[in-house]
Amino acid sequence: MKRYAFGIQFKVGSNNELMVGRCLKVLHGYHYKQSSNSIGVTFPEYCNKTIGSIIGFVSEDQRSLQELMSHHYFQQMQRLKKFFVHGVIAVPENVPEVRYSKEQKIDKYSEAGRQRRLRRGQRIAAKNGYEYEPRRDSAGSERCIQLFHEVPMTSSNRPSQLFYYRIQQHRADTTNCDGYTSYGLANQENAKGTVPELLFFTNL
């Protein structure tokens, strides 16, 4: 199983998460046109502080990577010197494998998620004619939430409406190229694809 990749490094001082969101949107559009989610994304500089200034695109299909790399947005950002696009390379064997996924449960335990549950409970109580008493979480019910980074995204239908992808990194024991979401991520349903950490991209 031979895999290939190309990387994009953002200009020093960029909002990394914002740049990642724009790159993921380009990938989503490419996958939509191809009717196939064959490209995964990796973040070689993923750490506690940031998702990193580099995004890598990984696939078994070298031609698809070349097509994506030539996307007008990537080329325009490179001309403006806001991106540096590293050409397609072969992925080395025996590199650590990871999965990047959009974590949906995080929002449930965030303050915003708790406020939404509170408002929903109040509406139901008012509709049914009783006083709402929010359930108090005990100390033992606190959740341990794994590190994530919030990536701002916009909808094609509502460009002014901002939402967030909370992206987490998970270690993987084996290589899996069985597919990704349209944004190049993994999920718990039908997109189990892994990606290499691609540490060599840190030397762009």
**Closest alpha carbon to 40 in 73, 11, 16, 4:** 4
Are 133 and 155 within one domain?
Answer: no
From 93, 119, 141, give the residue that closes a domain: 141
Are 134 and 168 within one domain?
Answer: no
Are 54 and 41 within one domain?
Answer: yes
Q: Mean pLDDT throughout 153-171?
A: 83
In the chain, % of residues over pLDDT 70: 82
Are 111 and 170 within one domain?
Answer: no
Whole-number pLDDT of residue 144: 47
Are 62 and 118 within one domain?
Answer: no
Q: For residue 56, give the amino acid letter.
A: G
Q: Mean pLDDT throughout 171-179?
A: 88
142 or 166: which leads in pLDDT: 166
Determine contact, residues 178/193, Cβ cutoff 8 Å: yes
- Give the pLDDT band of residue 93 (cuts 50, 70, 90): confident
Q: Above 80 in pLDDT, residue 108?
A: no
In the chain, count H helices and then E strands: 5, 8
Whole-number pLDDT of residue 76: 97
Q: Which of 70-79, 88-97, 115-124, 149-158 has the lowest mean pLDDT?
A: 115-124
Are 99 and 111 within one domain?
Answer: no
Q: Above 50 in pLDDT, residue 168?
A: yes
Looking at every residue in the chain, the average pLDDT score rounds to: 84
Q: Which of 65-79, 119-133, 186-200 has the lowest mean pLDDT?
A: 119-133
Are 172 and 96 within one domain?
Answer: yes
Q: Above 50 in pLDDT, residue 204?
A: no
Distance CA 66, CA 84 (A): 15
Q: Mean pLDDT throughout 48-69?
A: 95
Whole-number pLDDT of residue 203: 45
Q: Above 90 in pLDDT, residue 85?
A: yes
Are 120 and 163 within one domain?
Answer: no
Determine contact, residues 123/134, Cβ cutoff 8 Å: no
From 95, 117, 141, give the residue that closes a domain: 141
Total domains, the chain: 2
Are 121 and 87 within one domain?
Answer: no
- Give the pLDDT band of residue 37 (cuts 50, 70, 90): very high
Q: Give the domain range for residue 137.
A: 105-141
- The number of beta carbons lying within 10 Å of the beta carbon of residue 93 is 10
- Find the CATH number of the domain harbouring 153: 3.30.70.2540
